Amino acid sequence: MSRPRAVLFALFVLCSNSPDAFAQDDRAAREERRALRVEDVGEGAANEALQAQAREAHLKEMAFARQLLASADLPQETRADLTLRLAELTLEESRYWLDVEMLAFEEAQTTCERSPGCEPSELKPDHTESRRWQRQSVRLCEELLKSAPNYARADEVLYLLGITHMALGEVEGTLKHLTALVKTHPSSPRAPDAYVLLGEHYFDAGNPHKAALAYSKVLAWPDHPLYPFAVYKLAWCDYNVGEHRKAIDGMKRVVNLSGGGETTALRDEALVDLVRFFADAGELDEAIVYYKSLGEEDRISDLLGRLAQMYVEQGKLEEAVLTYRRLIAEDPNAPGAPETQNEIIQAYRKIGKKRTPSPRSTSSAAPTARPRLGPAPTRRTKTRSTRRCGSSRRTCARWPWTTTARPRSSARAPTPARRMTSRTRLTPPTSRSSPRVSTPMRCATPSASSSTRSRSSTRPMSSTWRS
């Protein structure tokens, strides 16, 4: 198995078995953004016909290696080389079966989605066949290390053991063999690959310091294909610990290192991630100058949108409004301009709610008096009203517009919108046929019945206000 394919296979299995990278914070979850992984910048999927031809050749080579190992007259070095090659081919075969199993799993999910009562989330892929081949590879490597402890290619055996344990989801075995590789063979050509895999493990586990330590070891091999990727992940480690300045400089370095081929995809990812780094660091002017120098003006709008959203999340609504306005000024005819204007409106609404005191705080601060609908009654008016209501003052409605004693008609009292002044006088209706005539209000004592009420105790509402 070639080195790039071995690394890609190991990282493919690591991605399928491990949780998302810790660099995706709460905002990244809303934005569906994550740090690039090593398998994302690797070789593309080969043609199915080429894969079939390669598998057929691997099967023939595996059969030939088994035949040679069955003979007893092989030198120890040759036997060790054949065993290592057979372990590599066995791991390649497990990769083929892993693809078959995942394809069957996807088809089962599609069928389940079309079947009523079936839950796709309850389905799990069957890795029986791929695991069988992976364990065969582990067994061959372990036998090789026991039979030839001083084997010259022991570093390759340790690396193969590490990525195979990773494929099996056995973290302890992965860390054990990869760590042994970098400690016992620090100058091995496999050491940079091992450091990257160790860094990916600690990165996914949420340990940026150990991850950065592993990635930084790769910088000792500036010509290694994974060197730009290590710089990229180091920038993410700096970002996760709050070192925004170092993270920005690291991503700029990735852009400068990217020349072509696979590094082109890495360069694009770095330019996208720099939007987040610039926004969180508040380096808006620097970002605009940087993107314009690269001819990447289209990314400025993404930067402004990201920065404005960050201000909203932090409660800096005034700064968010200014940033949204600057975003519209960059391109007033952009398709997202109406949505940006709506964000400005929503920000202003939040500002208004933030400055308006709540009813609870207003009522608790100082009790307010009940608003009057008319002028305050004089002592004379109050006395006359009380005298006409009878001997009991408690059951008398002193003010005709309150709800203590309601009129029998559907006529309503004056509303607050039509507040009366001290100069306003209620006058009795000029004609009983007028539609504005109200039924006279009656005020009775507890001892008086409805049949014994006299007409002298009734009086129009307006008469109470006559002086």
What does the buried/exposed string (b/e) look like for 362-377 if buried means 16 or more CB atoms within 10 Å of the residue's CB? eeeeeeeeeeeebeeb
Structure confidence at residue 302 (pLDDT): 84
**Mean pLDDT lowest for which of 15-29, 196-210, 281-295, 412-426?**
15-29
Structure confidence at residue 337 (pLDDT): 87
Residue 18 in any domain: the answer is yes
Q: Residue 377 and residue 425: Cα distance in Å, rounded?
A: 12
Q: Residue 167 and residue 223: Cα distance in Å, rounded?
A: 28
Residue 353 in any domain: the answer is no
Residue 158 in any domain: the answer is no
When divided into structural domains, the chain yields a total of 1
Structure confidence at residue 301 (pLDDT): 85
Residue 119 in any domain: the answer is yes
Write down the residue that tokens 């994974």 correspond to. 226
Structure confidence at residue 418 (pLDDT): 47
Q: Is the per-residue pLDDT at 461 higher than 70?
A: no
Q: Residue 201 and residue 335: Cα distance in Å, rounded?
A: 41
- Angle among Cα 226, 269, 239 to the nearest 5 degrees reads 85
Residue 169 in any domain: the answer is no
Residue 405 in any domain: the answer is no
Q: 405: which residues sit within 8 A by CB, 6+ positions away?
A: 396, 397, 441, 442, 443
Residue 197 in any domain: the answer is no
**Cα 391 from chain centroid?**
74
**Cα 249 from chain centroid?**
25
Cα-based torsion angle of the residue sequence 195, 200, 206, 212 in order, rounded to the nearest 10 degrees: 40
Structure confidence at residue 351 (pLDDT): 85
Residue in 360, 321, 322 with CA at minimum distance from that of residue 344: 321
Q: Which domain holds residue 19?
A: 1-25+34-151
**Mean pLDDT lowest for which of 28-42, 77-91, 189-203?**
28-42
Side-chain half-sphere CA neighbours of 332 within 13 A = 1
Look up the pTM and report it.
0.65
Structure confidence at residue 107 (pLDDT): 94
Q: Residue 23 and residue 34: Cα distance in Å, rounded?
A: 7
Mean pLDDT, rounded, of the chain:
76
Q: Is the per-residue pLDDT at 222 higher than 80?
A: yes
Structure confidence at residue 314 (pLDDT): 82
Q: 75: which residues sit within 8 A by CB, 6+ positions away?
A: none
The tens digit of pLDDT for each residue in 147-193 reads 999 999 999 999 999 999 999 999 999 999 999 999 999 999 999 99
Q: Which residue has the higher pLDDT, 467 or 176?
A: 176
The tens digit of pLDDT for each residue in 12-48 reads 445 445 444 444 444 444 444 567 666 555 544 447 7
Residue 435 in any domain: the answer is no
The tens digit of pLDDT for each residue in 97-119 reads 999 999 999 999 999 999 998 99
The tens digit of pLDDT for each residue in 352-379 reads 876 655 555 444 444 444 444 445 555 4
Most confident of 182-191, 273-282, 414-423: 182-191
State both tokens at 464. Answer: 């109470």
Residue range 424-430: average pLDDT? 48
The pair phi, psi for residue 45, each rounded to 5°, is: -65, 130
Structure confidence at residue 184 (pLDDT): 96
